[in-house]
Amino acid sequence: MSINAQLKGNQQQDAYLENRGRLLVKCPDKPGIVSILSTFLHTHHSNIIESSQYSSNPENGTFFIRIAYHCEGLNEKAIQMEKDFEQIAAVHNMEFSFHYPKESTRSAIFVSKEPHCLMELLWEWQNGDLDTDIVVVISNHEYARPFVEALGIPYYFIPTNKDIRKQVEAEQIRLMEEYNVDLLILARYMQILTSEFVDHFENRIINIHHSFLPAFIGAGPYERAYERGVKLIGATSHYVTNNLDEGPIIEQDVERVDHRDNVGELKKIGRTIERRVLAKAVKWHLENRIIVEGNKTIVFH
């Protein structure tokens, strides 16, 4: 592809996103909510192009909806639309958020020794299938530096242990602020985060855990799975909370195994599951397809 053709393609993509918005709403369920939302968008000359909804219970339940819409001149209208919607939200007790695809999310990736999840994310990003700016990678090992810096992404080696954890996390938070990071992705970052760190980024840290939670929480899940003789192994991607490996689950997947698979083979199979599960979870977050409800998630695929 010529440089001119590539520039033209980028300009077309920018124009495509310029007038696209997404609206996420959570509120008490009652008749007419969809009509209220569609009327609001129609009043602001917006066309609904995708809509997904869910009710926890049609009688006194909670209603969740994600709407993607097109609105000519959205850049000039967005602030007024959000202000107008505040009045509707107040009347109907709605929690809501507007999102704009043209405003790319800025992501940081944390990684330790095993680079397979990091490499999957970098591949998806290079391919244009991960709609984010990967602005920095942080690791407590040097192993992944060549892969990352070859792509022009800053790489920070910050060794850590329990005795210096507070100083390390202070530096990590400083870097997150310096790079204006929206999303933190733990791509097999094998360090426990303190509550002070997690509280800085509520529902903005996505982790991949190498087991099908809630089974085998904590370290060494493949070893424990082998000892238990399981017939399925899996991986779980979830938001990080202050309860270890118990945050809201975004995505899970499994593969069948049997008695012939030793620990090393389980880990090899598991790495493939981990890669795809984390990539899916990150994509859905970036596309604003997730609403957190308590310790659960509503995911609009």
Q: How many helices (H) and strands (E) does the chain have?
A: 9, 13
- Catalytic-role residue among 245, 253, 258, 261: 245
Task: Tell me how far the alpha carbon of residue 137 is from its chain's centroid.
Answer: 16
Query: Does residue 245 carry a catalytic annotation?
Result: yes
Q: d(Cα 298, Cα 301) in Å, to the nearest integer?
A: 10
| CA-CA-CA-CA dihedral for 200, 204, 208, 214, to nearest 10 | 80
274: closest CA among 213, 231, 184?
213
Count CB atoms within 10 A of the CB of residue 176.
21
Q: d(Cα 232, Cα 127) in Å, to the nearest integer?
A: 31
Q: Which positions are annotated as active-site residues?
A: 245
